[in-house]
Amino acid sequence: MELDKMDENDWKYHGEGNKSLVVSHVQLSRVLRLLKYPAEDSENPPQTVEQAFRQIQNIVDFSSNVMSSLLGEKFIHSGEVVKLPLEFVRQLSIKVQHQRPAWRCDKVMDIYSGCALCLPNLTTPALHQPTHTPPLCIEIKPKCGFLPSSKHVSKDIKTKVCRFCMHQHYKVANGKWKRRSLYCPLDLFSGNRQRMYFAIRHLIEEPQNNFKIFKGGQCIYSSKEGSDDSLDLNSLLHHLRPYFMYGNNRLNSHMTSKAVLNDFIQVLVNALLGGGGGDGGVVTDRRGEGRSFCEGSLFNKERIRHSSQGLPSDSVLFRILQTQMLDTLDIEGLYPLYRRVEQHLQDFPKERSRLQMDGPYNEAFLEKLQKCPTEDDGSVEYAVAKVHQYRVAMTAKDCSIMVALVPSCEEEEDDEGLSSQRRLRDFLSSRPPAISYFVSILDLDPKPFDSIPCQLRLDQKIVSCYLRTGGALPRGSLPSLPGIISAAEREDCTLLFHPV
């Protein structure tokens, strides 16, 4: 990209979160992430150009120096900070405004600093050849994959029902979503194929913010917050069918909708369990039996009495789970340590820099959280290290996994750019075509130190709501199973769970 020749017509609206808006290039496999401000600050930006630059550079440093070490370099794309022409940013803001969801328009795009984060567009991999079938990309936000066992947990229900399942009741009760998702993160992180299949199937049924599918960079399947619109599963199956015509020796034969859906989910399971080519073994009993099942999940435990549990140690899910488990105290045990640090900073404000509460996110920051003593010695250094661990764990609990599926010709030569992809030879038995997949992790922004009290209040609200309702939901809040999925459920499950 030539930054001095930027044209807003080369970019299109891609999506946005709470803190940033993303645009993608119409030809290049690139996206720009731009900061957002509350609408009331649109005339008076809340930070200087230097502060905006530092905020984005902190995201890059946190991703490349901290999360990359914990999650694995092969999964991370940290990007770089770029300084854009202000006129380009202003015109871009005008162009994308009408495409933004109304409920996101309480914030406006930063048009004053010109700072942005430039990243690869993971929905259209650079290795993809435009002449071939467009790549599919599946975005999964897996959320927290374990139950807390900290002695500081005050409500026993937290050790039995996972945060996600309890949070679903709270979101439905508050009208954020019309229907509850039956997805449970503990099923996905179990490493058991049956439970993982079950989890992904429920993500498809009720995606919420946790599941999206892109085709050639365009989102073809997702949920809208607060919407009562039913998802068009038939349309999704129409998009998926060409990618799986060759699977399981069904060349040119009629594929049932159930078979398409089954193949799609099995491919995703393979990708999430696949390693990076190392010799990582399957890690079992990593948390004890009690922490691997959530009572909120509808999965029948009897199905897997004799089946394997555990994740390959070089899989993306294992790396994410290990990082999430840096939260050893739970928010209830962490909050008193937060107060210790907060009091120290009130007494000695200049210490904020030495303790790296706002960065820089470098090797020294990583060392602080990795070398934290196991016992609390009453020091502010111990409290800071535990707070840093918690912030990193929260980032891992809120990250997204991107699984790109790229149909490729058999005669294509492997080059260095394809080193991260894994062939699905063990699943797609007929050739051509082959499907290559590669896995990335994104949304790795550092969580602010000052957000910890909000986390505690939210935790208390979620738990009290769940206990107050007894885990019951209002009528109509359970997802109505799409016909193809409920029909598949009534059939013999040997195809659903065939060995791969």
In this structure, what DSSP letter does residue 287 have?
A: S
pLDDT of residue 215: 93
pLDDT of residue 20: 93
Rounded to 5 degrees, φ, ψ at 76 are: -110, 135
Neighbour-count burial of 182, counting CB atoms closer than 10 A to its CB (0-12 exposed, 13-18 middle, 19+ buried): buried
Q: Which residue has the higher pLDDT, 283 or 467?
A: 467
In this structure, what DSSP letter does residue 174 have?
A: T
CA-closest candidate to residue 466, choices 180, 168, 174, 159: 168
pLDDT band for position 317 (cuts 50, 70, 90): very high
The helix/strand/coil state of 373 is coil
d(CA 188, CA 26): 34
What crossing angle do the helices spanning 316-324 and 380-397 adopt, rounded to 10°? 140
Q: Are strands 282-283 and 218-221 parallel, antiparallel or unpaired?
A: unpaired
pLDDT band for position 128 (cuts 50, 70, 90): low
Give DSSP secondary structure letters for 242-265: GGGTTGGG-TTSPPPHHHHHHHHH
Does the pTM exceed 0.85? Answer: yes
d(CA 493, CA 303): 11
Max alpha carbon distance in the chain (Å)? 74
> Residue 425: pLDDT above 70?
no
Range 25-52 burial, b when 16+ CB lie within 10 A, else e: beeebbbbbbbbbeeeeeeebebeeeeb
pLDDT of residue 5: 80
Give DSSP secondary structure letters for 420-449: T-EE-TTT--S-S-EEEEEEEEE--PPPPG
pLDDT band for position 144 (cuts 50, 70, 90): very high
Q: What is the mean pLDDT of residues 46-72?
A: 94
Give DSSP secondary structure letters for 298-309: ---GGGGTTS--
> Residue 438: pLDDT above 90?
no
Given a contact cutoff of 8 angstroms between Cβ atoms, the answer to whether 388 and 371 are in contact is no
Q: What percent of the chain has pLDDT over 70?
A: 79
* Radius of gyration of the chain measured on its C-alpha atoms: 23
> Residue 49: pLDDT above 80?
yes
In the chain, DSSP finds a helix count (H) and a strand count (E) of: 15, 14
Give pLDDT tens digits for 401-422. 999 998 765 434 444 444 344 4
Give pLDDT tens digits for 174-223. 988 888 999 999 999 999 999 999 999 999 999 998 999 999 888 999 98
The helix/strand/coil state of 117 is strand
Q: Calculate the average pLDDT of the chain.
A: 83
pLDDT of residue 473: 60
From 3-12, 40-49, 242-251, 287-296, the region with the lowest mean pLDDT: 242-251
From 62-76, 143-157, 248-262, 346-360, the region with the lowest mean pLDDT: 248-262
Q: What is the mean pLDDT of residues 362-374?
A: 92
Q: Which residue has the higher pLDDT, 373 or 493?
A: 373
CA distances from 201 to 140, 169, 194 (A): 12, 20, 11
Helix (H) or strand (E) holding 369: helix 363-370
Measured torsion, CA atoms of residues 357, 361, 364, 366, in degrees rounded to the nearest 10 = 100
Q: Which residue has the higher pLDDT, 252 or 214?
A: 214
Our measurement of the distance from residue 263's CA atom to the centroid of its chain's CA atoms, rounded to an integer in Å, reads 22
Neighbour-count burial of 99, counting CB atoms closer than 10 A to its CB (0-12 exposed, 13-18 middle, 19+ buried): exposed
d(CA 109, CA 112): 9
Given a contact cutoff of 8 angstroms between Cβ atoms, the answer to whether 19 and 448 are in contact is no
In this structure, what DSSP letter does residue 282 have?
A: E
